[in-house]
Structure 1
Amino acid sequence: MDTILPRKNNKNKYLFIALPLFLVFGFLVYSSVTKKRSLNVKRAEITIKTVENNFFEDFIVFQAKVTPLNSILINITEGGAVQEIYVENGAMVKKGQALARLYNPNTELNYMQQETAIIEQINNLNKSKLDLRNQELNLAKDLIAIEHDYLDSKNLYDLNKKLFEQEILSKNEWEKTVENLRFQKERMKIIKESVTKEKRANQIQIGQLNQSIAFMDKSLGILRTNKQHFLISAPLSGRLSSFEPILGKTYIQGLSIGTIDVMKGYKLLADVDEFYLNKITDGQKGTVDFNGKPIRVQITKVIPEIKSGRFVVELNFTSSESLNLQQGLSFGVKLNLSEKTKTVVLSKGSFYEETNGKWIFVVNGSKGERRAIKLGKENPLYYEVLGGLKAGEKVITSSYKDYKRAEILNLE
């Protein structure tokens, strides 16, 4: 009889062989996934800085130009073509000094016509006033003649009265004498009243004529003054700037062709990036370097209008020291935004452009290890370190453009 032999099970055999292989493969995959990506970098190609425990102050630096404290524009009152130029740009001028002359034939003719019309009106008014004066003179002459007639009749009355009392003069002649005296008396009374009324009326008319003449004279004076506007004069004493008229060129009324800077003090004007608009206010103090010395300045005006991403700031010198300044000089203004405080600081560098201040490579021996950090305020020199770094540690601050994916830098 045949014996039945048990069949060998190869399943366990294959399992024992595959398990180690699987474990090795899993280890290799895990290692490849968890292994930190490294990159070899030459030390000469990077910048290494030491984290410091130092004084930090929030400040900004911007450029400002020296301008006169006060200026006045030179405006054209009457438009015309430039006929003559008497001074050059940059010259010191006195108030009322002639700067240039314009010419406009149409306006000149119009002024002449207006001047002729006004003079004619003034002459007519003066003639009317003269007629009233002559009328008064004629009334005065008439009054003198009437008074003379009255005196003659009075003298005749006195003489005839005596003759009548002596019965030398007839009654009929006496009655004529009495009637003549009464007539002359009444006549003189009426004429006097008329002359008085006429004089009063004439005085009122003459007063009105005088007012009209005065008004016309004033108009004529203004007109003649306006004619002088073709001559551009300095409104104040000072230095002439931005004054560049061109002979023959026509300038319209109201246009500004220059500025006079009053040479009594200077101020600073600066265009500042709009990023700092909410950080800058009136009264903030700063310094500028003048001939190697720090000079104190203070913000006096912030003009919040944004143009091309910038706004204007005015600053005044607060130092009592006399400064030999010139218009157009440029200064770097250091404006303090906070007081000095001692804290952990990190020198500024190009690394920030790639990391936005969230991580950095910390140098540990021959390696640079990636580490998360937290930065706070900044100034042109430092970042304020809020976490992730300690004073004395060394970090790489140069550009990370080629290292963004690396986690470890092998420094050679």
Structure 2
Amino acid sequence: MDTIIARKTNKNKYLLIALPIILLFGYFVFTSATKKRSLTIKRAEITIKTVENDFFEDFMSFQAKAVPLNSMLVNIIEGGAVQEIFVENGDRVIKGQPLARLYNPNAELAYMQQETAIIEQINNLNKAKLDLRNQELNLAKDLIAIEHDYLDAKNLYDLNKKLFEQEILAKNEWEKTKENYRFQKERMNIIKQSVKKEKLANQIQIGQLNQSIAIMNKSLDILRANKQHFLITAPISGRLSSFEPILGKTYSQNTSIGFIDDMKGYKLIADVDEFYLDKIAEKQKGTVSFDNKTIEVQITKVIPEIKSGRFQVELDFVSSEKLDLKQGLSFGVKLNLSEKTKTKVLSKGSFYEETNGKWIFVVNGNKAERRAIKLGRENPLYYEVLGGLKADEKVITSSYKDYKQIELLDIQE
């Protein structure tokens, strides 16, 4: 009996050949997909720091400048050209001391005209007051004459009454005497009332005139005082600063040409980034270095108005020790925001700009591997490490600008 022999097809043959190729290709695809992206760098191009267990102090630092506790502007009250300068910037001056003299012929002429007009008004008011006094005097003279006529009429009345009763005086003469007496009596009473009212009215007018004259005299005093403003004097005693008038230059009214510092102490003023607005409050303490000594300062005022991303704070020196400071002297202020605490800390570096503190390259020998981390508070020197790193581990803290998509770094010497 014949044996049936199965024929091998080309299909099975091709399958046997393709299978190893497919498996090999799949292996390469898998390894490529799972292989970490790496980059070779030189050690000299990076900065390596060690994670440390240390005291973390939440503080901030900023620059502040010294300014006097109290200053007063030197203002030009009446504009004019600088004619004379008597002192120099930085000089110590006393209150009332001449600093400079201005010249303004138009203003001086206007003052003279105003002064003349005021004096003329005062003279007119005084003349009106004198007229009222003369009027009172004339009324008094008239009253005396009227009282004299009344007394004559009364005496004649008394005499003629007796004569008429004795039937010596005729009746028509007696009637004339009675009528004259009545007339003089009523006349005197009316004049007395008129004089009384006139005196009262005159007193009111004279009081008003006196009040007007007093106002005019006060205006005249002010005007004469204003004429003296062409001579600029020191409003307080102290030291001149920013005082730089120029001979011949014309300055307008209410222009400031300098300051006078009262030399009774200094304070610090600083512009601080708005990021710290919620972290800074009055009575917080800090330190500055001056003359190789650490001096304590305290925040006395926080001005929360934001200008160009910054706000202003004022600080005073806590110590009563007198410091030989000068206006504009710059200080580096270290302001404490919390107490010191023991924790893991990491030196600050440029890596944070690309990672936002979410990952970092951890160095192990000649390799550096990307690792997720968690950072907490920060100060100008350190970050607080909350997770992902152990003490004594080394990390790269320089810029990651070229490593954003890299997971493994090969470090070459």
**TM-score clears 0.5:** yes
Tell me the equivalent position of 2:380.
380
- Tell me the SS of whatever aligns to 2:402: coil
- The 1:174–1:254 alpha-carbon spacing in structure 2 relative to 1, beyond 3 Å, is same
Tell me the equivalent position of 2:368.
368
Q: Does 1:58 align with 2:61?
A: no
1:83-129 C-alpha deviation (Å, 9 max, x unpaired): 33222222222222222233333332222222111111111222222
Range moving further from structure 2, 148-157 or 31-40: 148-157
Shift of 1:6: 4.5
Tell me the equivalent position of 1:330.
330
Shift of 1:191: 6.7
* Distance in 1, Cα, partners of 2:400 & 2:198: 107
- The 1:41–1:195 alpha-carbon spacing in structure 2 relative to 1, beyond 3 Å, is closer
* Distance in 2, Cα, partners of 1:225 & 1:252: 19
- The 1:201–1:406 alpha-carbon spacing in structure 2 relative to 1, beyond 3 Å, is closer
Aligned residues: 411
- Tell me the SS of whatever aligns to 1:13: helix
Tell me the equivalent position of 1:246.
246
Which amino acid in 1 is paired with 2:75?
A: N
* Distance in 2, Cα, partners of 1:312 & 1:51: 35
Which amino acid in 2 is paired with 1:114?
A: Q
Shift of 1:194: 6.1
- The 1:190–1:41 alpha-carbon spacing in structure 2 relative to 1, beyond 3 Å, is closer
Which amino acid in 2 is paired with 1:311?
A: F
Counterparts of residues 272-283 of structure 1 (less than 5 Å)? 272-283=272-283
* Distance in 1, Cα, partners of 2:307 & 2:231: 36
- The 1:15–1:182 alpha-carbon spacing in structure 2 relative to 1, beyond 3 Å, is closer
* Distance in 1, Cα, partners of 2:380 & 2:215: 68
- The 1:370–1:159 alpha-carbon spacing in structure 2 relative to 1, beyond 3 Å, is closer
Tell me the equivalent position of 2:169.
none
Which amino acid in 1 is paired with 2:119?
A: I
Shift of 1:9: 2.8
Counterparts of residues 391-406 of structure 1 (less than 5 Å)? 391-406=391-406
Tell me the equivalent position of 1:113.
113
Tell me the equivalent position of 1:408.
408
* Distance in 2, Cα, partners of 1:261 & 1:12: 104
Q: Does 1:221 align with 2:210?
A: no
* Distance in 2, Cα, partners of 1:243 & 1:61: 33
Counterparts of residues 95-106 of structure 1 (less than 5 Å)? 95-106=95-106
- Tell me the SS of whatever aligns to 1:229: helix
- The 1:35–1:157 alpha-carbon spacing in structure 2 relative to 1, beyond 3 Å, is closer
Tell me the equivalent position of 1:260.
260
- The 1:61–1:150 alpha-carbon spacing in structure 2 relative to 1, beyond 3 Å, is same
Shift of 1:82: 2.7
Which amino acid in 2 is paired with 1:72?
A: M
Q: Does 1:15 align with 2:10?
A: no
Tell me the equivalent position of 1:169.
none
- The 1:82–1:5 alpha-carbon spacing in structure 2 relative to 1, beyond 3 Å, is same
Which amino acid in 1 is paired with 2:225?
A: T
* Distance in 2, Cα, partners of 1:334 & 1:87: 39
Counterparts of residues 11-410 of structure 1 (less than 5 Å)? 11-138=11-138, 198-410=198-410
- The 1:203–1:31 alpha-carbon spacing in structure 2 relative to 1, beyond 3 Å, is closer
Shift of 1:383: 0.6
- The 1:325–1:191 alpha-carbon spacing in structure 2 relative to 1, beyond 3 Å, is same
Shift of 1:51: 0.5
Q: Extract unaligned runs of 5+ from structure 2.
A: 161-172
TM-score by length of 1: 0.84
Percent identity between matched residues is: 81
Shift of 1:159: 12
* Distance in 2, Cα, partners of 1:356 & 1:406: 16
How well do the aligned residues superpose, as a CA RMSD in angstroms?
Answer: 3.7
Shift of 1:139: 5.1
Which amino acid in 2 is paired with 1:404?
A: K
* Distance in 2, Cα, partners of 1:408 & 1:158: 145
Shift of 1:317: 1.2
* Distance in 1, Cα, partners of 2:308 & 2:176: 109
Range moving further from structure 2, 304-313 or 402-411: 402-411
Shift of 1:62: 0.4
Shift of 1:360: 1.4
- Tell me the SS of whatever aligns to 1:319: coil
1:373-399 C-alpha deviation (Å, 9 max, x unpaired): 111111111111111101111112222
* Distance in 1, Cα, partners of 2:203 & 2:26: 127
* Distance in 2, Cα, partners of 1:8 & 1:195: 160
- The 1:109–1:20 alpha-carbon spacing in structure 2 relative to 1, beyond 3 Å, is same
Range moving further from structure 2, 288-297 or 385-394: 288-297
Which amino acid in 1 is paired with 2:72?
A: I
- Tell me the SS of whatever aligns to 1:281: coil
* Distance in 2, Cα, partners of 1:28 & 1:188: 143
Range moving further from structure 2, 176-185 or 190-199: 176-185
Tell me the equivalent position of 2:170.
none
* Distance in 1, Cα, partners of 2:5 & 2:153: 196
- Tell me the SS of whatever aligns to 1:278: helix
- Tell me the SS of whatever aligns to 2:235: coil
Shift of 1:76: 2.8
- The 1:217–1:22 alpha-carbon spacing in structure 2 relative to 1, beyond 3 Å, is same
- Tell me the SS of whatever aligns to 1:400: coil
* Distance in 1, Cα, partners of 2:179 & 2:9: 184
1:347-385 C-alpha deviation (Å, 9 max, x unpaired): 111222222222111121222222111111111111111
